[in-house]
Structures are given as structure tokens and as C-alpha cells.
Amino acid sequence: MKIFKVLFFILGYSLFGCMDSGQKKPILQPPALRAVENDLKIDTQEPETILLDKDVSIRNYFRWMDSVVAVHNTNHTYQLDEYILVHHNPWIIDTLAHTDYYYLMERGIFNEDPQALLALRKGQEIKVPDSLQTINIKQRLLNTYLDINIPAFRLRIIENGKPVYKFPIRVGQNGKRYLAMANREVDMRTKPGVGTIIRVNKNPVFINPKDNHKYQSTRRDDGKVTKLPAIPWLEPAINGQSLGQLIHPTTNLETLEKAYSNGCIGLREADAWVVYYYAPLGTKVLIRYDLTGKNEKGEAVEFKNIYPGFENRSIRKEALEAALKAVDGKPIPVCDCHL
């Protein structure tokens, strides 16, 4: 067993707002499966673990992860990334999800600074996947996409054609508004279409697009004020365009299952951690406007038409499969199943 000693660094990532006006990076596509296999040489060394010799706060978590991955990739014949390491240790996602403000408050714990909470604790061990396990995790992520149905206020994570998670969301308001960030009147409705995740922002700046006001704290539904969480924001390009409708956490659960935002797709903090680890760069994203579906009992339901006129923008299963394949040339099965 090999034990890595890891160093702490100060976080230093690019900052972007909800409607990011910075320089855009090119759309990145996931590699073909054969490329994944060719890039890896079979490494049958004894399984390794990383023993934590210090606590790691959420504030330092991403820099810590980057340093661990860099050490591994320097010393091994196959390459890891943060997503692979965490999927091999799914308890890390659970730990991060349970730092959710409202989860803690339900247990009588008030925390004013989400970034000061511990992501990892001294003495914990993280298992390092071998090369074959790494291939398997990469295959799973390549066959995963996000399915968002606007009028259902739901985001599903689909893995190998099956839903593995289903989360409530908020979507854009039905109307137009002048936004100082865009310097024009903006249609705030969340737009349907097919695309990919083109950017992951690990340290976003919180800016009110209405007046460009930057803020460092948030008032929760219970009236308490806390600092802001450090949960990554995801930017999809839909139908080949970046529309500014990011996927990110909201600190106000009362806004979920409502048309409330300026176009972004909001999740509770716990759910945003899960979505982040299932949606690396290149992950396919489907945003639908389907007024019919099924509930948890499998019963047919009809959703409220929150954007009159959008009902004709629904995508049928056959067209959806073709659209997803057109994103990067690799088909993904589309199921009719519902959580």
C-alpha cells in the first residue's frame, strides 16, 4: 500500500457570474471510447489508498483534489481525474451533499460559512482505482446525460439509458426584463434544446444580473444570513449557443418548482453537488418542454403550461436520439422510464 502525502494550496480559479460575459472557451467534447481504452495501459499494481493527514475544508477541496490527481498522473501509466477518483469513492459525494444548509438546519445545526465545512477529515482513506476500474468509470460517464423537463421542474441524471437521480429545479420566469449585465432586454424563459456542458466554474462570483450588484452573502428562507456556498456552476451550450442559462445551486428552496430565475436552472445545494460529479465537460444535456409525463407511481400526469407557445417545441423520442447522436457522433439510448 502506498500513501500519498498531500499539500494544501490556495484556491485560484476564474470567476464568472450567472450570466457570464467573459471570454468563452471552445466547446469540449468527450473522447471516443476507443480513445479512452488506448490511452490506458493495464496497471495491475497493488491497490493504493490516499491517507489524509489533515482535514480538508470545502474552501480548499478543489485545490487538494487537483494536487492528488497531479501526483498520481505523474507516477502512473494511466491517468485519473477528479471525477474518476470521486466516483470510485462515492461517499465523498454523500459527504459534500450533507453540507447543505437546510440539511444541517433540519438537524439543529446552523452554519454561517458553508466553505468552512469539512469535505474530508484527517484519517480518512481514499481508494485509488486501478486502470481497469478507471476505464469502467469513464465509460459510465461517457454514457451519462442530463435530462431537464422545464414544465415538470425536474432534472434527471440518465446513466446507460436509466435514470439514477431526479431532482426538483427552478427555471426562468415567463417574461422579459432589462438586465444590466446583458445591457438589453432579455427573454428570461429557459430555452429547450440539445447540447453539452462547455464550462465548469468552480469558484463563481455571485452577481445580480438586473443591476450588476456583486454580493458575498445570501438570506435564507428562514431569514438567516450566511456566506455563499462553493459549489461549481455548469454552463451548457444549447443548440450550439451559450444562452447564459447556467445550472447552479440556489440558497432558497422556496423557489424550487417555480418559474423564478433569470433563465438559469437552479437546484438545492445537495443536489448541485451530485449533478456536478455526473456532468464533467462534454456531458450531453437535453432541455425539454414536455407537458405530459409520469409521476413516481408511473401514472400519467399533465404539467402546467408555464410558457404558452413553447408546447410545440417538445422533442419526440426518435428526434431526441438523433439530436443527442448529432452532438458528438455517439448515440445514447433514451428511455421512456420515469423515477
What domains can be seen in the chain, in order of their start residue? 33-138 (no CATH), 144-328 (2.40.440.10)
Query: Which H or E run includes 237?
Result: strand 233-238
Q: Is the pLDDT of residue 246 over 90?
A: yes
Question: 203: burial class by Cβ within 10 Å (0-12, 13-18, 19+)?
Answer: middle
CA–CA distance, 248 with 267 (Å, rounded to integer)? 6
Write the single-letter amino acid at 47: P
In the predicted model, is pLDDT for residue 305 greater than 70? yes
Taking a C-beta distance cutoff of 8 angstroms, is the pair 332, 161 a contact? Answer: yes
Q: What pLDDT digit, counting tens, does each position of 179-229 carry?
A: 777 678 888 999 999 999 999 999 888 877 778 888 889 999 999 999 999
pLDDT in tens, 150-188: 999 999 999 998 999 999 999 999 999 887 776 788 889
Active site residues: 248, 264
How is 173-211 classified by DSSP, letter by letter?
Answer: -SSEEEETTTTEEEE-SPPPEEEEEEEEESS---EETTT
Taken as a whole, the chain contains a residue count of 339
Calculate the alpha carbon distances from 178 to 172, 182, 211 in Å: 14, 8, 9
Q: In the chain, what percentage of residues exceed pLDDT 90?
A: 65
* Contacts with 12 (C-beta within 8 Å, 6 or more apart), sequence order: 63
pLDDT for position 244: 84
**pLDDT at residue 258 tops 90:** yes
Contacts of 45 (CB under 8 A, 6+ apart): 130
What would the pLDDT profile of 69-103 be if each residue is shown by its tens digit? Answer: 999 999 999 999 999 999 999 999 999 999 999 99
Average pLDDT over all residues of the chain? 84
- Contact (Cβ atoms closer than 8 angstroms) between residue 268 and residue 168: yes
